[in-house]
Amino acid sequence: MTNSIEEISNADVIFVIGSNTTEQHPVIGMRIIEAVRKNGAKLIVVDPRRIPLVEFSSIFAEIKPGTNLAFINSIINVIIAEGLENRKFIEERTEGYEELKASVSEYTPEWAAEITGVDADTIREIARTYASGKNATILYTMGITQHITGSMNVSALANLTMLVGQIGKPSSGLNPLRGQNNVQGACDMGALADSLPGYQKASDENAIKRFEEFWGSDFAREKGMTATQIFDAAIKDKVKAVYIIGENPILSDSDTNHVKKALESLDFLVVQDIFMTETAKLANVVLPASSFLEKDGTFTNTERRVQRVRKVIESVGGSKPDWEILAGIIKAMGFEAEYNSPSDIMEEIRKVVPIYGGITYERIDSEGIQWPCTDRNHPGTKYLHRQNFSRGKGKFVANEYRDSGEIVCDEYPFIMTTGRTQHHYHTGTMTRRSWALHREQPRGFIEINPADAKKLGIRDNAKVKVTSRRGSIFADAMITDKINPGVVFMPIHFGESPVNKLTNRNLDPVAQIPEFKVCSVRIEVAK
């Protein structure tokens, strides 16, 4: 997030797109509701489903899955056409405005309405409402990123924030809400194909030399592989071994059959997790890790806040904290691993990651600190880009809309989109072992509009077969008007209804993220 969670309460316009916030980020969802109820904030919600947050919205746009870029560009078109842009901010802090203006000239609301299913008047109302905000914030999640245009979707939202000067100040900004509790921390520590820890580019020779000197070893100069590229390479026999920590790609990654083939092609697979997952069952070696209740350390949350995590109980069942397992492997391989506690690791991080330079266990003992925090006297950073951007001036980038990788046809007439529910988390590794949560939502389901269900002869709770170009699964029908005709929704949590057996491997060319949110399917009563 460019800004802080607490700032949401003071925004006068909140633009939520591709995020079921109240169910997936309930703390942030409550901030949004507080801003609406107590402060009269205007809430804009854009989503393919009538999510619970719609109840509190001033404007709701039920968008067709996969058309976000057309929609965002049309909002930019309206703001420029009606002279609602912040000329002072554009002139002082950005470049590339004329190129952006030319690139969106044909993205009229009328054109976008045909593509997105959102009428032109609603597009204009959203543009005017957002542009008129004194403090306007944008919140998004994987409903924006899990598309073949995911990177361009985010870039277009960045264009939008700069166009009206809603960045670099409190209660504004462009704020991705992270999908898991420490995914921000993982990215901070270099779990990206093109980055070293602290988002230092893998091609940055100065950064490489700093790590080489600190660790006393040579670094590879070439860019690494993304997860999707690793699986492709495994099938081609170019990757021989994979070490998976805290991830269950058999359920979480697109095109399950492809993922399974990749893992079965390996010479050696190690899985480190707290339970025997669907992925762990394929491993040569399973390393039992400790849960968050059994280990000390830090989590870095979605607002860049580094927070302490404290052990409540001792590790059970022979399990160990992840850092101990990794340190043990380092030693077993004949290298030095002088780590006696997580604080030793944090001290190392502080020395080689500039944005963590001032973060110590002592300083975050009672309250977390938001990076960048470059030295021990730095208070942390509540919001980014206050005076300038990391490159100096913010650059407007033209983003050209293109259709999704899969479109509907007579054989596969429905657009399926996927996501999470209130009662379960990710692939259900933990939540499906909770009796209370299982009782609330025991099985996989598919949301179908009543008009579509009637045409297909499907009754509520009936068992149905859902088929894509890659396979078939079974689920219970949930007939609901919170989704439009022609669109269906399925959650990702259930191994008995593995929705990613259906999803495709069409990738965003930049981030290499699969198109989880758009998949064409057909539905029939199960026989």
- 304 within some domain: yes
Asked if residue 86 is part of any domain, the answer here is yes
CA 272 to CA 87: how far, in whole Å? 52
Q: What is the mean pLDDT of the chain?
A: 96
**Half-sphere exposure of residue 168: CA atoms within 13 angstroms, side-chain side:** 20
Task: Please check whether residue 396 lies inside any domain of the structure.
Answer: no
**Residue among 422, 416, 448 at smallest CA distance from 517:** 416
End position of a domain, from candidates 126, 152, 177: 177
Residue 399 in domain:
no
Q: Taking residues 308-326, what's their average pLDDT?
A: 96
CA gap 360, 358 in Å, rounded:
6
Which DSSP string corresponds to 244-257?
EES--HHHHSSSHH
- DSSP-based three-state secondary structure for 356: helix
Q: Given a cut of 90, is residue 425 above it in pLDDT?
A: no
Q: What is the pLDDT of residues 435-472, one digit of tens each?
A: 999 999 999 999 999 999 999 999 999 999 999 999 99
Helix (H) or strand (E) holding 455: helix 450-456
Q: Per the domain annotation, does 457 fall within a domain?
A: yes
Range of the domain at 363: 183-370
Could you give the CA distance from residue 57 to residue 44 in angstroms, rounded to a whole number? 6
For residue 172, what are its two tokens? 């504004």
Is residue 284's pLDDT more than 90?
yes
Residues 60 and 150 in one domain: yes
Confidence of residue 336 (pLDDT cuts 50, 70, 90): confident
Do 141 and 190 fall within a single domain?
no
DSSP 181: T
On whether both 331 and 468 belong to a single domain, the answer is no
Q: How many residues does the chain have?
A: 527
Give yes or no: residues 318 and 187 share one domain: yes
Rounded distance between C-alpha atoms, residue 14 and residue 454, angstroms:
37
Q: Taking residues 99-108, report their average pLDDT.
A: 98
Asked which of 370, 401, 430 is the last residue of a domain, the reply is 370
How many CB atoms neighbour CB 338 within 10 A?
9
pLDDT at position 68 over 90: yes
Residue 169 CA to residue 60 CA, distance in Å, equals: 26
Asked whether the bond before 372 is cis by omega within 30 degrees of 0, the reply is yes
Structurally, the chain folds into a number of domains equal to 3
Same domain, 217 and 170: no
pLDDT of residue 2: 98
Q: What percent of the chain has pLDDT over 90?
A: 95
Q: In the chain, what is the straight-line distance between the N-terminal and C-terminal CA atoms, in Å?
A: 48
What are the Cα distances from residue 485, in Å, to 52, 210, 327, 448, 466? 19, 56, 53, 8, 16
Q: Backbone dihedral region of 250: left (phi > 0), alpha (psi from -120 to 50 degrees) or beta?
A: alpha
Look at residues 174, 178, 128, 148 and name the one whose alpha carbon lies nearest to residue 16.
174
**Which range, of 194-208, 210-224, 496-510, averages the lowest pLDDT?**
210-224
Query: pLDDT band for position 222 (50/70/90)?
Result: confident
Q: Which helix (H) or strand (E) holds 490?
A: strand 487-491
Query: What pLDDT does residue 132 have?
Result: 98
Q: Indicate if 243 and 365 belong to the same structural domain.
A: yes
**How large is the average pLDDT for residues 346-366?**
95
Which of the four pLDDT bands, split at 50, 70 and 90, describes residue 179?
A: confident
C-alpha to C-alpha distances, 313 to 289, 292, 318, 321, 421, nearest whole angstrom: 14, 10, 13, 12, 29
- The pLDDT assigned to 21 comes to 97
Instruction: Note the pLDDT tens digit of each residue in 23-49.
Output: 999 999 999 999 999 999 999 999 999
Mean pLDDT of 241-260: 97
Q: Return d(Cα 137, Cα 9) in angstroms, integer.
A: 10
Give CA–CA dist 266/246, Å, rounded: 19
Res. 223 pLDDT band, cuts 50 70 90? confident
Using 50, 70 and 90 to split pLDDT, how confident is the model at 220?
confident
Burial-class residue 236 by CB neighbours within 10 Å (0-12, 13-18, 19+): exposed
C-alpha span between 296 and 308 (Å, rounded): 8
Please report the pLDDT score of residue 217 as a whole number. 87
Sign for the CA dihedral angle at 92, 98, 104, 108 comes to: positive
Q: What is the pLDDT of residue 219?
A: 86
Q: How confident is the model at residue 181 (pLDDT cuts 50, 70, 90)?
A: confident
Do 62 and 106 lie in one domain? The reply is yes
In whole angstroms, give the CA distance from residue 277 to residue 431: 13
Q: 């509540």: which residue's tokens?
A: 382
Q: Are residues 207 and 315 in the same domain?
A: yes
Q: What is the pLDDT of residue 487?
A: 98
Give the pLDDT of residue 337: 80
Supply the CATH number for residue 208's domain: 3.40.50.740
User: Is 12 within a domain?
Assistant: yes
Assigned domain for 52 exists = yes
Asked whether residue 450 falls in the same domain as residue 310, the answer is: no
In sequence order, the 6+-apart residues with CB closer than 8 A to the CB of 200 are: 207, 353, 354
- Same domain for 168 and 35, yes or no, is yes
The CATH number given to whatever domain includes residue 32 is: 3.40.228.10
**Does 309 reside within a domain?**
yes
- The domain boundary, picked from 336, 370, 404, lies at 370
pLDDT, tens digit (0-9, with 9 covering 90-100), for 145-166: 999 999 999 999 999 999 999 9
Same domain, yes or no: 199 and 308: yes
381: pLDDT strictly greater than 90 = yes
CATH number at residue 511: 2.40.40.20
Planar angle of CA 425, 415, 148, nearest 5 degrees: 75
Q: Same domain, yes or no, for 173 and 191? A: no
Residue 95: per-residue pLDDT: 98
Beta-carbon contacts of 232 under 8 Å, excluding residues fewer than 6 positions away, are 262
